[in-house]
Amino acid sequence: MTDTNPTATDSRNCPKCNAALPIDAPAGLCPACLVAAGIGGSETAATTRKNDNTAFEPPSIETLAPMFPQLELLEFVGRGGMGAVYKARQLGLDRLVAVKILPRETGDDPAFAERFTREARAMAHLSHPNIVTVHDFGQAEGTYYIVMEFVDGANLRQTILAGRLSPEEALAIVPQMCDALQYAHDHGVVHRDIKPEN
């Protein structure tokens, strides 16, 4: 007779509520804590939001280029609450990518590397037409980065501000966003920064 009860090797506990969860639980949290984190945000997310526009100065392309010999950094795209984004060419595959650089101080938290790795892997498992594809992630000279699919064009906020969005077009976008968010949620990924720029 086979034992079907989970053992210590099959499961672990949620660090927030201590509920048992499978080893491959996305973000290492149970579904209830994932939802709570998505609604209220964690202490780390709150701290990040509070410091969005303070000390982080995006590095220049000249500073970053030696750290990424596999990429040709082309231009600075913008900065947000979680770092800066650059347009680059992935030389080996000759394709355009977006490189997101996180502030160096994020790596000062000992638990950050584990969280970053877990979240990047969870994102990389998502395959949806309305979610950018993650190609690579890692750390270069103390700087954490994610290499993603590059999507050219204006973001939703820019489109709205330019007055180029009819009510019918806006209504057509909403189901696509909801479908992508539901897909991510079904795979244990909670988007904690939903806004037109993202």
Which sequence positions are flagged as catalytic? 193
Strands (E), 69-124: 71-80, 83-90, 95-101
Answer left, alpha or beta for residue 176, where phi above 0 means left and psi between -120 and 50 means alpha.
alpha
Cα–Cα distance between 95 and 151 in angstroms, integer? 12
| 63-67 contacts, C-beta under 8 A, 24 or more apart | 64/101, 64/143, 67/140, 67/141, 67/143
Q: How many other C-beta atoms are found inside a 10 Å radius of the C-beta of residue 145?
A: 22
Task: Identify the DSSP state of 77.
Answer: E
Contact 131, 180 (CB under 8 A): yes
